[in-house]
Amino acid sequence: MTDKDISRLYQQVVIAHNRDPHNYGPLAEATHQARGYNPVCGDAVTVYFSLRDGTVTAASFEGDCCAVCTCSASLLTDRLTGMDAPAFEALMTEFERLVKPRRTTVIDEQLLGELNVFEGIREFPSRVPCATLPWHTARAAWASLPQVSTE
């Protein structure tokens, strides 16, 4: 895939998830939730999930956030269901490596799956917190912390 193809795919995925985000809305049976806020751009997102026997059985999000943050939260909540804490941490670590500016390590594209569309975001460092906010919010929820901020 060329850089132009990757950019086009990124735009298509972000637009699609922003228009019709997956798992949007509060989760009535949530056992864990946290609110994340990015004071630089104003993104605010709440991530909810239900945990049974250490495994996520359902996940959702809601918020007032940009298209990048909405898409990231949508894809994150798609992936959360069925995960335990170590699997989530492994995926989050790989996602952070993917979007990190000046990355010097090889990423696990297979583990990331559709999340690979965020690779180009590293060229725009100011947008990286938009992409990672839902992930840090989910981590806070897992730790039973009520809120997290990018600052």
The CATH number of residue 45's host domain is 3.90.1010.10
72-86 pLDDT, tens per residue? 999 999 999 999 999
**CA 4 vs CA 9, 11, 100, 115: distances in Å:** 9, 11, 20, 17
Domain boundaries, position 58: 3-149
> Bridge-partner residues for 64, per DSSP?
44
Taking the C-alpha atoms of residue 58 and residue 77, their distance in angstroms, rounded to an integer, is 8
pLDDT tens by residue, 86-120: 999 999 999 999 998 877 788 899 999 999 888 88
Q: What is the CA radius of gyration of the chain?
A: 14
The chain-wide mean pLDDT, for the chain, equals 91
Overall domain count for the chain? 1
